[in-house]
Structure 1
């Protein structure tokens, strides 16, 4: 986030926060859907994230990058809401087929999305933050409040699991031809 916009928000400028919200809402919702695997839970997590950011912006350390701070709040909200939902309901979460990331080719999207969604959240969330959001391992460790070497290990294992999953899909596709 640009520093001037951040300063305006901190000074109570509601138009500046509205600008920030409009700039971030689509990306934030996409990440929340990838984490929660549920469009409605993702919308709730996204809404709560913006509320928490607005209320707690005074605690943000401007000497550090903003995005890891913001996405740590989003990730924590997703976890909190998924945990709450698990207690309330046993309904199965679903993948929203309308979610697309501009860095993924449309033809490859469904298989890649299926592969990412098949991962345990331990590997799925670091993969999303690294390859869909472009965060460094250090930033991911900040977001997830986990040791950087643990993140590297989870990314390595996640990539291997994705590769195996996609290879299995390809093999099954060849058998049906």
Structure 2
């Protein structure tokens, strides 16, 4: 999946080949659905938001200037579509309390998330992320699972990169509170098994 390929299909669509859009939908449908599910926390709403996202992308494709990656453009449309859905249904989750964490503890969570692909706990960690408020889960998913840079995430959520950095830091702290309750015993058992 390359940016160059995306632009080839975009040109074909803009020249009247609607079938080329099916290729882009197929390429990004899982990513869009995953992000929508992180924000909306409801499968049906996420499916609807995903469909709405692709309809909006198709209708506004002529305005895509190629200044960012096409995936970033799609994430931004998906993000805004989910925000609209949240406003419509007035779904607001209570913020989770953040305990005082040391920098070392925050670095530990960072290391754990960065090594997800090497561990068997990916599903458990995704389940923990699903317990976070919409925005926190969305940001962590973009950063750790979609490998977007701070600048790309800032483009998606229309915030300054430094603001995104602060929000990611807070999101990791919130995730650590969930980890401590749900995963810590599992992780301890895993590491003790590794030392034997």
Check whether TM > 0.5: yes
Of the three residues 115, 135, 144, the one matched with 1:122 is 135
The answer as to 2:45 corresponding to 1:41 is: yes
Identify the residue that residue 16 of structure 1 maps to in structure 2: 20
Between stretches 103-112 and 33-42, larger displacement belongs to 103-112
Residue 50 (structure 1) shift:
0.5
Gapped runs of 5+ residues in structure 2? 93-115, 189-196
Between stretches 10-19 and 112-121, larger displacement belongs to 112-121
Identify the residue that residue 101 of structure 2 maps to in structure 1: none
Between stretches 19-28 and 48-57, larger displacement belongs to 19-28
RMSD over aligned Cα, in angstroms? 2.3
Residue 171 (structure 1) shift:
5.0
Under a length normalisation based on structure 2, what TM-score does the superposition of the two structures give?
0.73
Contact 1:28–1:46 (Cα < 8 Å) also in 2: yes
The answer as to 2:135 corresponding to 1:135 is: no
Under a length normalisation based on structure 1, what TM-score does the superposition of the two structures give?
0.80
Asked which structure has the greater CA Rg, the reply is 2
Contact 1:29–1:42 (Cα < 8 Å) also in 2: yes
Q: How does 1:61-140 map to 2 (within 5 A)?
A: 61-86=65-90, 107-140=120-153
Q: Output the CA distance in 1 between the equivalents of 2:132 and 2:139.
A: 11
Contact 1:116–1:162 (Cα < 8 Å) also in 2: yes
Of the three residues 147, 150, 167, the one matched with 2:163 is 150
Contact 1:34–1:117 (Cα < 8 Å) also in 2: yes
Contact 1:41–1:82 (Cα < 8 Å) also in 2: no
Q: Deviations over 1:32-72 (max 9, x none)?
A: 11221110000110000100000001111123221211111
Gapped runs of 5+ residues in structure 1? 91-102
